[in-house]
Chains A and B, each alone.
Chain A
């Protein structure tokens, strides 16, 4: 299992559209993806779950990835954060 923390760096935070981008990436991998924000947790392949996290701009989210392709999944998800969810 891989675990890492990222800051939500896009302008408006993890809203429905950004959550959609996240899901599109996570769904390409067979690994399980879990996203934690404060007390809340969401399946990284659920757009509604991610949007319910209320992770605003600047929020720290912890991401756990577990599965055969976890290393590749991490790379892709980190790239998405780097690109600020293709938003700005």
Chain B
């Protein structure tokens, strides 16, 4: 008889509540209200919801930045405020919270230093992360002068410098151009493929649909739908057929046959190409013709130290 191995969730949230009060301690805003969900190791989990639904608040509670009003939260089996668990987490905030006076190289080196990495390890990882972010040429410019997209790349790089098991991303694609969005999504997929758990929050549905396996949709601090995207989106009551467009009479005959069989007159339209994919194809052709790019490098790949999975010593 096969034994079932109980896998501990990477993130466990039970009845989480967060209430913000005013000066007189009267409750003003119920940011999170009885939220329950689990994130299993190795999956990409999305928190969706309109503005003010409690996504960022939930993430900040997971990171120990906010204290919950009620409920139990465990991150990698420990309390979020536990210093030891922070060695295994990477965080990309929504806004640019970097030190404006430091260069990207210094920023990454600093965060590597406070994560306890040795100098040679830090040097190697900084080099690889700058390469991943496409900022090798801008490595010695102060971050304060960067555009939002470039700052976002550095923010992602600093989140990965300690080779984390769990990566938390708050609005990862906000403010990025389509190339940057695609690259961010590619990185997220690559991180998940290497065994890491990714939790991200966003209100850009297309981006979430591309990368997430499971999602939770929040509204007013409550989860109104939780599950795999495929399960949530599948509409079993309808089917779609895609085929090369037949000639005028052939189409009429086909439609008449379907109507006779089903009693339902089908709707006909021409499927549209994906704008993002179209954009990327145009840019790829232009890059091939020009041979260089003035902005960040369009090619992206995961650094070698991340391909091997999280560090064993952190477990």
Do A and B belong to a common assembly? no
Which residues of chain B have a CB within 8 Å of any CB of chain A? none
